[in-house]
């Protein structure tokens, strides 16, 4: 085959519905009701984050907060579609997506029961890449500003998605080396995992913040263990999102804008049937059917080129934020987090979260002292699922 023939036969993505949408506002789903204490408790339960200020009313009442407050990762919980909606704009026929990463900026507001978040969304940009996983792919980024009902800015999120052709992923079979069956853990191994998890819980349970002068470059944060991941834990993560509850949201456009992207067909191989969802809401709730069902349905996951049930990119972005916020204590705050996602977490795996202090800054644009921390998430075999850096504010 000549070079010219090879170029003609090369698979290309159809970007005809993508290019003209760059830089434009995006619509989407809007939750109908304010956040409740139950929503907060369900979220930290789904993410396996037992910080008592988020679920223990008596503990929280006696803290500086005077009651239950949400974790910083709650912003994405109070959005529609895992916060990834503005990066999934335009139709690419016969495609699917994986989360590529999340970048967050937090502005100081603590979400409490009664807060209702509203989102301003925008499709930021895209670039064509060639991936080992699926060949020709598209890296797309979208921005979301999260505001309360009073207009207070809580956070900004930049979500990254990797959009790919399912047929090309099936050809490459990159994940074939991952067994279709989950690993089996011995009782002794499970005890070791449970000890790491419990030691981490005890390390920050009282909410005491490390002071700037006490922290040294090179300090290691306590290791966190999450898992082993199961179908049940994946389902709990999904159901922690209020938007997965029947009738919990409505579709909103962009005032004054003609043809904003809202809930059009993105070209999924597994297509959500919104018309049927008006009769039977289970058809679009993401657990039983639709593109998200591959996370808990092995046969649906296989259609997307994945070997077995796999975890949510949202959780992979939330785990580092929760991990850092727990270390920072009640007087600290994660100000910025930028995490890249390398590979999904699979059923049966354990995720270990590790952090290391890489720099200190006594003064910052945020007004306080910042500590830079490198964060890495790995499984039991050392395979990296997430890596990135964050800036955490701590008291002087």
CATH of the domain at 161: 3.10.129.10
What's the Cα-to-Cα distance from 213 to each of 22, 71, 209, 226, 394, rounded to whole Å? 45, 26, 12, 30, 10
Q: What does the alpha-carbon distance between residue 11 and residue 93 come to, in Å, rounded to a whole number?
A: 13
- Region 233-238: mean pLDDT is 93
Residue 119 lies in a domain: yes
Q: How far apart are CA 193 and CA 159, in angstroms?
A: 31
35 in a structural domain? yes
Q: To the nearest whole percent, how much of the chain has pLDDT over 90?
A: 72
Strands (E) across 263-332 are located at: none
CA–CA separation, 204 and 81 (whole Å): 31
pLDDT digits (tens, 9 = 90+) for 193-203: 999 999 999 99
Helix axes 37-46, 231-239, angle to 10 degrees: 150
Q: How confident is the model over 217-229, as a mean pLDDT?
A: 97
Task: Return the pLDDT at 134.
Answer: 86
Which pLDDT value is given to residue 185? 96
212 assigned to some structural domain = no
Residue range 226-235: mean pLDDT, rounded:
94
Residue 343, domain member (yes or no): no
- Judged against a pLDDT cut of 60, whether residue 216 lies above it is answered with yes
C-alpha to C-alpha distances, 16 to 128, 163, 267, nearest whole angstrom:
13, 15, 12
The reported pLDDT for the residue numbered 366 is 85
Tens of pLDDT, residues 274-328: 888 889 988 888 788 766 777 887 665 555 556 678 898 899 999 999 999 999 9
Question: Which pLDDT band holds residue 4 (cuts at 50, 70, 90)?
Answer: very low
Model pLDDT for residues 9-22, shown as the tens digit of each residue? 477 888 999 999 99
First to last CA, the chain: 67
Q: What is the tens place of the pLDDT at every residue in 25-74?
A: 999 999 999 999 999 999 999 999 999 999 999 999 999 999 999 999 99
Whole-number Å distance between alpha carbons of 369 and 218? 17
Q: CA 193, CA 175: separation in Å to the nearest integer?
A: 25
Give the pLDDT score at 3.
44
Within a domain: 81 = yes
User: Residue 77 falls within a domain, yes or no?
Assistant: yes
Residue 196 forms part of a structural domain: no
Answer whether the bond into residue 349 is a cis peptide, omega within 30°. Answer: no
pLDDT, tens digit (0-9, with 9 covering 90-100), for 334-387: 999 999 999 889 999 999 999 999 999 999 888 889 999 999 999 999 999 999
Domain count, the chain: 1
pLDDT band at 75; cut points 50, 70, 90: very high
Does residue 76 lie in a domain region? yes
Calpha distance 318→241 (Å, rounded): 13
pTM metric for this prediction: 0.91
The domain containing residue 290 runs over which residues? 3-184+231-333
pLDDT (tens digit, 9 = 90+) per residue, 154-206?
999 999 999 998 888 878 776 666 566 788 999 999 999 999 999 999 999 99
Asked whether residue 8 carries a pLDDT value surpassing 70, the answer given is no
Nearest CA to 74 out of 103, 116, 33 is that of 116
Number of H helices, E strands in the chain: 10, 12
């Amino acid at each position: 085959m000549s070079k010219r023939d090879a170029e003609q036969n090369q698979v290309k993505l159809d970007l005809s519905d993508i290019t003209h949408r760059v830089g434009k506002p995006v619509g989407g789903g809007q939750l109908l009701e304010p956040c409740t204490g139950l929503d907060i408790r369900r979220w930290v339960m789904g993410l396996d984050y037992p910080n008592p200020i988020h679920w223990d009313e008596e503990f929280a009442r006696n803290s500086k907060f005077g009651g239950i407050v949400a974790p910083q990762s709650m912003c994405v919980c109070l959005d529609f579609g895992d916060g990834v909606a503005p990066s999934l704009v335009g139709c690419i026929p016969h495609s699917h997506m994986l989360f590529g990463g999340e970048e967050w900026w937090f502005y100081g507001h603590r979400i409490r029961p009664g807060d209702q978040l509203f989102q301003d969304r925008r499709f930021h940009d895209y670039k064509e890449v060639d991936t080992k996983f699926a060949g020709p792919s598209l890296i797309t980024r979208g921005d979301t500003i999260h505001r309360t009902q009073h207009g207070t800015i809580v956070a900004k999120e930049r979500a990254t998605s990797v959009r790919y052709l399912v047929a090309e992923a099936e050809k490459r079979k990159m994940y074939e080396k991952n067994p279709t069956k989950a690993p089996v853990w011995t009782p002794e191994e499970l005890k070791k995992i449970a000890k790491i998890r419990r030691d981490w819980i005890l390390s920050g349970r009282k909410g005491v913040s490390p002071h700037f002068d006490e922290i040294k470059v090179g300090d290691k944060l306590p290791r966190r263990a999450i898992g082993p991941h199961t179908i049940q834990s994946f389902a709990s993560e999904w159901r922690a999102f209020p938007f997965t509850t029947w009738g919990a949201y409505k579709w909103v456009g962009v005032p004054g804008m003609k043809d904003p992207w809202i809930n059009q067909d993105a070209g999924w191989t597994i297509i959500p049937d919104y018309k049927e969802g008006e009769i039977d809401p289970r058809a679009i709730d993401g657990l039983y059917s639709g593109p998200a069902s591959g996370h808990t349905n092995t046969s649906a996951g296989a259609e997307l080129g994945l070997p077995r049930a796999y975890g949510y990119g949202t959780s992979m972005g939330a785990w580092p934020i929760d991990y850092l916020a727990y270390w920072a204590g009640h007087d600290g705050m994660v100000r910025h987090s930028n995490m890249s996602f390398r590979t999904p977490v699979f059923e049966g795996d354990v995720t270990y979260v590790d952090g290391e202090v890489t720099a200190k800054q006594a003064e910052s644009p945020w007004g306080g002292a910042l500590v830079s921390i490198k964060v890495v998430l790995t499984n039991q075999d050392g395979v990296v699922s997430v890596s990135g850096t964050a800036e955490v504010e701590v008291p002087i």
